[in-house]
Structure 1
Amino acid sequence: MTDTISRRTGGRAARRASRAAPLSDAMRPIRPGMSGGAYQPLTPQDVERIHRTALTALEEIGLADAPESGIAHLTRAGAILGTDGRLRFPRALVEDTIAKANREITLFGRDPRHDMELSGTRVHYGTAGAAVHMVDVDGRNYRECTVQDLHDAARIADVLDNIHFVQRPMVCRDIPDNYEMDMNTVYACCAGTTKHVGTSFTEPGFVKGALEMLHMIAGGEDKWRERPFVSNSNCFVVPPMKFATEACQVMEACIEGGMPVLLLSAGMAGATAPSTIAGAIAQATAECLAGLVYVNAVSPGHPAIFGTWPFGLDLRTGAMTGGSGEQALLSAGCAQMHRFYGLPGGAVGGITDAKLPDMQAGWEAMCSNVMAGLSGLNMVYEAAGMHASLLGFCHESLILGDDLIGHALRCVRGIEVDDETLGLDQMREVCLGGPGHYLGTGQTLARMQTDYQYPALGNRMSPKQWDESGKPDLMAETIERKEEILAERSAARFDAATDAAIRETFTIHLPA
């Protein structure tokens, strides 16, 4: 009897140990780059009408304020400069560019295991934004962001499975010099994570310094160009339908330096874009098509992400509504346009209008993150941590967002229907002379980890268990998790020689 008990106990222990062991990526219930696309708010006819509207807008209205270099590139490609200074784009030029554009882009991480393949309906979630405030959860206050806050955000994101990339989510308000701010932004992000990093540059001349730093981090310009692990988030347009002159010059410098580009059109529906969802998508599509022509005129096939980012507006007050249902529809509709063109694309999801990580923040972030993922958006930007319609960033919300995105990704994965998942054999076994339940069956145990996503911090205790455990508080546990992460040295930190060389060349504000 003793031996039997021992063997059974050992079997249970072995199964528990097996379940506790990390799964391979192929066996995980969720992972980066799963295919979405099940949700399509636009009909095929809707998509065609938006496409035709965008082409007509480019041909008849065009875009103003291109820099002289941009005018040269675009007119050489076939755009027409009018007497009113606006560049207009013949349909044939746009359609030819779409056909020739880079359709399969890999955004590299410093660590190859974080590489992201952008094609089809592969979905990835990450940070972004330019928050000027940090959310202080303990004091329920907002304060200005610092470079240390940015570095800590990158460090936290580096250990979160469901944050797949780190685009700079905040501005370093403690560095008044714009050049130093841009260089420290690159340093703080890259020293905090080996995932792909996105950033922007204030002036064209700053790109050279950033590339010099990135060459040092990569181990040489050749290695950087082979695997560029930082991309340029570029607001190349000032909606409606105008080029952002200086940003276009930044874009040209980044292209020359081998840096992937996010073509970011961020109109506000009802202010700088039409107030209707369809109109805002059509204008953003037109602007990004103009950007695509621009990029390919400079360097054919250069990796460019189709970044339609129209934002919602509360027309009663003029306030941005990043957490609204309209915002979720805007991003999902944009994802359909990306699929229509077969181009890697990105839009926003996960933004909250809530000022703190509360129930409002939860429903707002989940709504747009799920819809963006289900629509097959390649890059879901601003997916975690963003509050107050992009004015505030919160480390605790970044951590909570990892759980939230885990649920969203499980929705993206969807429902597999085959002989095994339908379980008819299981029904026979359980119901015809079996135990009358599925607890403990081989398939149930096998599916516990491969089919089900479990929260890291979310509490699923019964009220009795919760009470007996001292009534654990979600925010207190999140703060504790944040402190645990930040107590460890960054795994992404540079080797001593590289760090010393960077500090000798640039004014780095983070302590060594």
Structure 2
Amino acid sequence: MNAPTSSRSGGRAARRAARSTALPDNLRPVRPGMEGGRYRPLSEADVLKIHHAALDALETIGLADAPESGIAHLTGAGAILGDDGRIRFPRALVEDTIAKANRSVTMMSRDGLHDLELSGNRVHYGTAGAAVHLVDIDGKNYRDCGVQDLHDAAKIVNTLNNVHFCQRPMVCRDIPDNMEMDYNSLFACVTGTTKHIGTSFTEPGFVAPAIEMLHMIAGGEDKWRERPFVSNSNCFVVPPMKFATESCEVMEECIKHGMPVLLLSAGMAGATAPSTIAGAIVQAVAECLAGLVYVNAVKPGHPAIFGTWPFGLDLRTGAMTGGSGEQALLTAGCAQMHSFYALPGGAAAGIADSKLPDMQAGWEQMCSNVMAGLSGCNMVYEAAGMHASLLGFCHESLILGDDIIGQALRCVRGIEVNDDTLALDQIADVCLNGPGHYLGTAATLSRMQSDHCYPTYGNRMSPKEWVEMEKPDLLDTATARKEAILGAPSAAALDPMMDRAIRDKFNIHLKG
């Protein structure tokens, strides 16, 4: 009886030892930029119908409320200003813009190690949002979030292999001045992570101070323009089919300063967008095509992300349904339209309507994250940490989201079929010459890291081992990991002299 027990224990120890050895990035089972696109909820005929409906909407309905500068740019490019104040877009103008728009955008990282190439169906996951509350899982409470919470989120992102970028997920509600809130949000993220950062600006006049800070951090304007490691998340439209005047002016400022732009259309199906999935996608596509014309009218070829973000709505109550199957289909359908246009695109997934990181949150976050990845969405925003239909953000959930995204990425990777993976030689050797199983064979051990994505926090113990380990709880594990990350110095901290120079010039609220 002792020999088999020893053999099994030794095999488990060998597997653990093998997993503890870090693989080169190109051999990791999952990694940023893997190709999705295998899942296509729309037929080719459906895609063409949506495309032509969007062109019809732009040509016959158009968009209202463009700023004077936007009117000048758009009419100069060939758009038509009607007597009703709406700008309409001839089909030829839209199609010409699609043809000449930037088709491959690299979202830079500050350290140069986490650059994200957005082309084809390459998939990347990250944070985003404007949550006003932080979820405190200890007391099951929601409280106002602040600049320290945002910095902590960025610091956690920096340690997570499967969270590839950090778009600001929270609003700093402890900073009442909007300009200070904008540049402090940027500072909190930059000093927390060296991965690509997304941020937004309240007014066009608030862009310049942030750009000045970024020039200081980058080492000069030329260095910043060479590697812009921050992008502008820009809600340039107020659905349905109206420009957000001030946000458009912000967008023009960001373009002027060389900052990539996320063109974000976020209609609510049944409220500010049609209630049907197809109709909501049509409107989002039309609005983002208008934004694409706008960007290219200001500066041809400027890096822009086609950000169709339609959200679901519970038509019984008016509550947002970010964790629904309908949301997953909205995101996957939008990703298919990005692919049709061959444009870098982004959409929202991974949102939990659940208020806490519980079982409901798990199924909600996995459902849309998997479908977004399988559909080949270049930038999957809000993929980890978001609760209460985007009203709450949770640090522990962000950490656990790394496991969820890891499994989603393994689905994106798919099944490789070749002479090696068909394993006929292994089957023959094990059955004819070997022990009759594949445990511990050279072939199994050689591929156990490269083929399998192992959860960092998910528990696969047997019930007996779980009891022996004092019944570890998933949230307790995440909390312990959070405390360890936040208790260590930030790997993205600025040089002390640079940090001091920025604090001398700006009213920085984050404690040094």
- TM bucket normalised to smaller: over 0.9
2:450 maps to what in 1? 450
2:5 maps to what in 1? none
2:511 maps to what in 1? 511
Amino acid at match of 2:494: F
Unpaired stretches in structure 1, ≥5 consecutive residues: 1-8
1:469 maps to what in 2? 469
**After the TM superposition, which segments of 4 or more aligned residues of structure 1 sit over 3 Å from their partners?**
9-19
1:15 and 1:413 map into 2 onto residues whose CA distance is 23
1:361 and 1:19 map into 2 onto residues whose CA distance is 28
1:241 maps to what in 2? 241
2:17 and 2:42 map into 1 onto residues whose CA distance is 47
1:32-71 matched pairs, under 5 angstroms: 32-71=32-71
| 1:376 shift after superposition | 0.2
Which region of structure 1 is more displaced relative to structure 2, 454-463 or 18-27? 18-27
Q: Structure 1's 277 and 428: CA in aligned 2 closer, same or farther, altered over 3 A?
A: same
| 1:16 shift after superposition | 6.1
State the SS of the aligned residue for 1:274: coil
CA contact (8 A) 2:128 2:382 kept: yes
2:3 maps to what in 1? none
1:266 maps to what in 2? 266
2:227 and 2:498 map into 1 onto residues whose CA distance is 18
| 1:408 shift after superposition | 0.3
1:145 partnered with 2:118: no
1:109-508 matched pairs, under 5 angstroms: 109-508=109-508
| 1:15 shift after superposition | 8.1
Amino acid at match of 1:278: A
Which region of structure 1 is more displaced relative to structure 2, 435-444 or 74-83? 435-444
2:452 and 2:324 map into 1 onto residues whose CA distance is 29
Q: Structure 1's 11 and 430: CA in aligned 2 closer, same or farther, altered over 3 A?
A: closer
Q: Structure 1's 10 and 467: CA in aligned 2 closer, same or farther, altered over 3 A?
A: closer
State the SS of the aligned residue for 2:125: strand
| 1:107 shift after superposition | 0.2
State the SS of the aligned residue for 1:123: strand
2:22 maps to what in 1? 22
Amino acid at match of 2:95: E
1:3 maps to what in 2? none
| 1:497 shift after superposition | 1.2
1:5 maps to what in 2? none
1:226 and 1:160 map into 2 onto residues whose CA distance is 26
Q: Deviations over 1:69-111 (max 9, x none)?
A: 0000000000000000000000000000000000000000001
State the SS of the aligned residue for 2:204: coil
2:104 maps to what in 1? 104
Which region of structure 1 is more displaced relative to structure 2, 361-370 or 471-480? 471-480
State the SS of the aligned residue for 2:305: strand
2:153 and 2:358 map into 1 onto residues whose CA distance is 20
Which region of structure 1 is more displaced relative to structure 2, 431-440 or 458-467? 431-440
| 1:441 shift after superposition | 1.3
2:158 and 2:440 map into 1 onto residues whose CA distance is 36
1:365 and 1:12 map into 2 onto residues whose CA distance is 31
| 1:13 shift after superposition | 8.5
2:20 and 2:64 map into 1 onto residues whose CA distance is 58
| 1:19 shift after superposition | 4.0
2:506 and 2:439 map into 1 onto residues whose CA distance is 61
Amino acid at match of 2:41: P
Identical amino acids, percent of aligned pairs: 77
1:484 and 1:442 map into 2 onto residues whose CA distance is 36
State the SS of the aligned residue for 1:63: coil
State the SS of the aligned residue for 2:456: coil
Amino acid at match of 2:120: G
| 1:12 shift after superposition | 11
Q: Deviations over 1:118-158 (max 9, x none)?
A: 00000000000000000000000000001000000000000
Normalising to structure 1: TM-score of the pair? 0.97
2:262 and 2:449 map into 1 onto residues whose CA distance is 36
Q: How many residues align?
A: 504
1:317 and 1:465 map into 2 onto residues whose CA distance is 45
| 1:433 shift after superposition | 2.9
| 1:504 shift after superposition | 1.0
2:12 and 2:458 map into 1 onto residues whose CA distance is 26
| 1:318 shift after superposition | 0.7
1:375 and 1:458 map into 2 onto residues whose CA distance is 25
2:74 maps to what in 1? 74
2:24 and 2:53 map into 1 onto residues whose CA distance is 46
1:397 and 1:131 map into 2 onto residues whose CA distance is 14
Q: Structure 1's 334 and 153: CA in aligned 2 closer, same or farther, altered over 3 A?
A: same
